[in-house]
């Protein structure tokens, strides 16, 4: 399964829509996208994970790394995730307390 990425600007924030699987093979693509956005001066990111089918520890590491990158610039990285199996991963790892997780794009961008 491949990873699809697309970005769009919404109200001063950049939404990165992610689809497919975020694993050891595809996570570098997401990491590079986040790194490029931060390097270009984009510090308020929303990662839309509604189309993500699978997430492993490498993907979690990329998200945590992205959070550290934007926080270094007083920015934010929030997630849109409404799938129980992914939310369970965030709860088990304690990352549900680290990330702001929204259940929909409307909620995240309100």
Q: Which domains does the chain have, with CATH numbers?
A: 3-102 (3.30.750.24)
The H or E element spanning position 109 is none
pLDDT tens, per residue, the chain with 110 residues: 689 999 999 988 999 999 999 999 999 999 999 999 999 999 999 999 999 999 999 999 999 999 999 999 999 999 999 999 999 999 999 999 999 999 999 999 98
The pLDDT of residue 29 is 97
* pTM of the model as a whole: 0.96
The pLDDT of residue 95 is 97
The pLDDT of residue 51 is 97
The pLDDT of residue 82 is 96
DSSP secondary structure letters along 8-57: EEETTEEEEEEEEEESTTTHHHHHHHHHHHHHTT--EEEEEEEEEEEE-H
The pLDDT of residue 110 is 87
């Amino acid at each position: 399964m491949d990873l699809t990425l697309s970005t769009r600007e919404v109200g001063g924030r950049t939404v990165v829509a992610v689809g497919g699987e975020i694993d050891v093979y595809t996570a570098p693509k997401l990491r590079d996208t986040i790194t490029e956005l931060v390097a270009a001066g984009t510090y308020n990111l929303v990662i839309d994970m509604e189309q993500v089918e699978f997430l492993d520890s490498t993907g979690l590491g990329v998200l945590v790394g992205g959070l550290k990158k934007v926080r270094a610039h007083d920015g934010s990285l929030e997630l849109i995730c409404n799938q129980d199996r992914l939310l369970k991963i965030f709860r088990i790892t304690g990352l549900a307390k680290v990330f702001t997780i929204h259940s929909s794009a409307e909620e995240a961008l309100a």
